[in-house]
C-alpha cells in the first residue's frame, strides 16, 4: 500500500522517538563512563568533549570489581549447567514416559512463576545458615536454580512435546538404544530450545540482584549487581566508575542479544523470563 508523504514523515518521527526513548539512557551510561573525571562534575553536555578510560582503569584497579566479575561468571555458568542437565532430563521423561501426576508436575512448574521472591529467599537463607553455606557462591547457585529450573522444564516440555515420537522410534528400530536415540536424535533436534534455556538461565543469574542481596554479605563473594550497587553510597560517589561498571555488566548481554536474538525472541514468546 502506498502512503502519503505526511504519513511517512509521521511514522519516521515516531520511530525516531521510540529509538531515542529506548536508547538514550543507555547512550548516557556509556558516554558517562568514557568521560574524564573532571568533565563529569561540570555542566553535562550531550556529546563528550573528551575521551578517557580513567573510570575503567580506576574501577578495575581500585575496587573489587574484577573479583566480582569472576564470581558472577562462575555462578552463572554453574547455574546454566545444572539447569540444562536437570531440565532436559525431567522434560524428556515427562513427555516420553508414563509418568504419574504428569500434569501436576508441569503445572507446579508454572505455579513457581508466581512465588514472591521473599517467599523463597527468606527460608532459603535460613536453610543455608543452618547448613553453614550462607554467604557463599554455592548458596547463590542453589538459589538461582530455584528460578531457572521450573522455567527450563516448562520451556523444554513445550519443545519435546511437539517433537514427533516416531523419529526416535525409527532410530530405535534401526538399533539405537533409547539413550542413543536421545543423544543422536532428540538432543540435536531440540538444540534451539536448549540454547534458549541456556540463554535465559544465564540472563536470570547474571542480572539477579534480589537473591544475591539476601544471600551474600562479604565483599569478596558478591556478584556484580550487588557489588556495583554497594559502590553507591559506600564512599564518595564516583559516577564515572559506577557507569563504567554498569556498562561492563550490560556488555555481555548486548553481545548475546546481537548474536542470538532469534533464540531470545523465541524464548520471550514462550514466556521464558521472570521479570
- Interface of this chain with other proteins, residues 92 to 131, rule: CB under 8 A: 92-93, 97, 99, 105, 108, 112-127, 129
Residue 207 lies near other proteins (rule: CB under 8 A) = yes
Which of residues 64 and 115 has its CB atom nearest to other proteins in the complex? 115
Between residues 53 and 118, which has the closer beta carbon with respect to other proteins?
118
Q: How many residues bind other proteins (CB under 8 A)?
A: 92
Cell 521464558 maps to which residue?
A: 272
Place of cell 543452618: 130
Interface characters, 35-64, with other proteins (x: CB under 8 A): -----xxxxx--------------------
Three cell numbers, residue 178: 533409547
In angstroms, what CA-CA distances link 28 with 43, 48, 79, 169?
14, 10, 32, 56
Angle between helices 239-269 and 191-207 (to 10 degrees): 150
Among 23, 191, 234, 262, binds other proteins (CB under 8 A): 23
Our CB check for other proteins shows the closer of 74 and 252 to be 252
CB 36 to other proteins: min, Å = 14
Considering beta carbons, is residue 61 or 179 the nearer one to other proteins?
179
* Interface region with other proteins, contact rule CB under 8 A, candidates 55-63, 73-81, 186-194, 267-275: 267-275
133 is a site residue for other proteins (CB under 8 A): no
Residue 184 CA to its chain's centroid (Å): 29
Burial class (CB in 10 A: 0-12, 13-18, 19+), 165: exposed
Contact (CB, 8 A) for 239 and 58? no
Cell 508523504 belongs to which residue? 5
d(CA 156, CA 93): 11
Rounded Cα–Cα distance for residues 80 and 198 (Å): 6
Cβ at position 57, least distance to other proteins in Å: 19
Residue 42 has φ and ψ, to the nearest 5°, of: -110, -175
Residues 6+ apart with CB under 8 A from 242: 228, 231, 232
From the list 52-60, 61-69, 187-195, 260-268, the region that binds other proteins by CB under 8 A is 260-268
Please state the closest distance from residue 137 (CB atom) to other proteins, in A. 16
Task: Tell me the three cell numbers of residue 160.
Answer: 519435546
CB of 61 vs other proteins, minimal distance in Å? 20
Q: Are 79 and 141 in contact (CB under 8 A)?
A: yes
Residue 150 near other proteins by CB under 8 A: yes
Span near other proteins by CB under 8 A; candidates 50-58, 59-67, 187-195, 206-214: 206-214
CB of 3 to other proteins, least distance (A): 9
Q: How far is the CB of 28 from other proteins (least distance, A)?
A: 6
Q: Pick from 48, 58, 102, 257 the residue near other proteins by CB under 8 A.
A: 257
DSSP 247-272: HHHHHHHHHHHHHHHHHHHHHHHTT-
Site for other proteins in 224-243 (CB under 8 A): 224-226, 228-229, 232, 237, 239, 242-243
Amino acid at each position: 500500500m502506498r502512503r502519503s508523504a505526511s504519513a511517512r514523515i509521521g511514522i519516521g518521527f515516531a520511530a525516531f522517538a521510540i529509538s531515542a526513548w529506548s536508547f538514550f539512557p543507555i547512550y548516557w551510561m556509556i558516554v558517562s563512563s568514557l568521560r574524564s573525571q573532571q568533565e563529569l562534575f561540570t555542566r553535562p553536555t550531550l556529546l563528550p568533549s573528551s575521551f578517557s578510560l580513567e573510570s575503567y582503569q580506576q574501577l578495575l584497579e581500585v575496587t573489587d570489581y574484577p573479583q566480582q566479575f569472576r564470581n558472577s561468571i562462575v555462578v552463572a555458568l554453574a547455574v546454566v549447567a545444572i539447569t540444562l542437565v536437570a531440565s532436559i532430563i525431567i522434560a524428556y521423561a515427562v513427555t516420553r514416559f508414563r509418568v504419574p501426576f504428569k500434569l501436576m508436575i508441569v503445572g507446579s512448574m508454572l505455579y513457581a512463576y508466581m512465588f514472591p521472591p521473599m517467599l523463597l529467599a527468606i527460608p532459603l537463607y535460613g536453610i543455608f545458615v543452618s547448613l553453614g553455606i550462607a554467604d557463599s557462591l554455592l548458596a547463590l547457585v542453589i538459589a538461582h536454580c530455584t528460578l531457572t529450573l521450573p522455567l527450563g522444564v516448562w520451556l523444554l516440555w513445550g519443545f519435546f512435546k511437539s517433537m514427533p515420537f516416531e523419529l526416535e522410534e525409527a532410530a530405535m528400530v534401526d538399533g539405537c538404544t533409547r539413550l542413543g536415540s536421545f543423544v543422536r536424535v532428540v538432543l540435536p533436534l531440540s538444540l534451539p530450545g536448549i540454547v534458549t534455556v541456556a540463554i535465559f538461565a544465564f540472563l536470570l543469574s547474571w542480572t539477579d540482584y534480589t537473591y544475591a542481596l539476601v544471600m551474600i554479605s562479604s565483599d569478596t563473594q558478591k556478584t556484580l549487581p550487588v557489588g556495583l550497587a554497594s559502590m553507591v553510597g559506600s564512599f564518595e560517589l564516583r559516577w564515572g566508575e559506577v557507569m563504567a561498571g554498569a556498562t561492563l555488566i550490560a556488555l555481555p548481554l548486548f553481545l548475546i542479544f546481537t548474536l542470538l536474538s532469534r533464540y531470545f525472541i523465541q524464548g520471550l514468546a514462550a514466556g521464558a523470563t521472570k521479570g
